[in-house]
Amino acid sequence: MTTTESSTLFAQTWSLYDLITEHNYMFHQEIYQDVGRLLGLRQDHGRYRLLDLGCGNARYLASCLKQFPPASYQGIDLSEAALAEASHYLAACKTTVALTQGDLLDAIEAADKTWDVIFTGFAVHHLMPEEKARFFGAAARCLSENGWLIMVDVVREEQQSRENYLRDYLRSMRENWIEIPAGQLEEACTHVHAHDYPETLTTLQAMASAAGLTASRMISHYGPHYVLLFARSGMTAAIVSPGL
């Protein structure tokens, strides 16, 4: 795929994504309020280092970082066009910004430094189970002693199969996302059906624990859209109660 084709595909896809988030169908407003409050609980404002995996255009996280700026921010995403938009949204943040094109799993596995916060938003559910386990292992290795892994993602109910999850999620999209034009709605449904492989909360916690992230909290959830916190230290995660 050429750069022009990639940029065009991103523009089309992100236009749809922006339309979805504009109507708050995936609860971005509530989720990123929770993420902002979570960052506000850290004691190292202005000093923490944040890695954003699958950052997209960083539009929603940027508002959190303006309020609680890190010392440095690194965003990783496959789309060069997304990173160009991210540069725009992050320009007002009082932090050092580095944006790198690449695959999130490859990037975290190849990383040779640590971060105080690793953030990922609606990205890990695209990985296969064995890739998710690798992701947690690499993230645990790259977190500082008091580091946090903050994950925003879709999660299946316990005992719910992927097939049943997709049936319910796609039905909700078609019934509730009424402001999305029919053609674009079907485009979104096709994407979800082909690329979404969410795990249950228990499975994610087990993967994290096996990687050494033995402390976890479900911060909040809005239907299947979850905000999760993982940490190496129980004392670190204990400062955050479920639901903030």
Q: What is the pLDDT of residues 111-127, one digit of tens each?
A: 999 999 999 999 999 99
Distances (CA, A) of 206 to 92, 213, 226: 38, 9, 16
pTM, to two decimals: 0.92
Indicate the pLDDT class of residue 27, thresholds 50, 70 and 90. very high
192 pLDDT more than 90: yes
Range 87-98 burial, b when 16+ CB lie within 10 A, else e: eebbeebebebe
> Encoding tokens for residue 51?
């890695």
Beta-bridge partner residues of 154: 225
Q: How many angstroms separate the CA atoms of 149 and 165, rounded?
A: 25
Model pLDDT for residues 63-109, shown as the tens digit of each residue: 999 999 999 999 999 988 889 999 999 999 989 999 999 999 999 99
Q: Which of 228, 232, 226 shows the shortest CA–CA distance to 144?
A: 232
* Residue ranges of domains in the chain: 3-87+98-235
Q: How far apart are CA 60 and CA 83, in angstroms?
A: 14
Pairing assessment for the beta strands 215-222 and 225-231 based on DSSP bridges: antiparallel
Tell me what pLDDT residue 18 has.
82
Tell whether the model's pLDDT for residue 244 goes beyond 70: no
Tokens of 18: 């922006």
CATH superfamily of 3-87+98-235: Vaccinia Virus protein VP39 (3.40.50.150)
Phi, psi of 235 (to 5 degrees): -65, -40
Residue-wise pLDDT for 32-53, tens only, equals 999 999 999 998 989 999 999 9
CB 98 within 8 A of CB 82: no
203: its two tokens:
């499975």
CA–CA–CA angle 215, 153, 30 (5° rounding): 95
Predicted pLDDT at 135: 98
Which carries the bigger pLDDT value, residue 243 or residue 233?
233
Around 213, how many Cα atoms within 13 Å sit in the side-chain half-sphere?
32
- 121: its two tokens: 């938003």
pLDDT tens for each residue of 151-171: 999 999 999 999 999 999 999
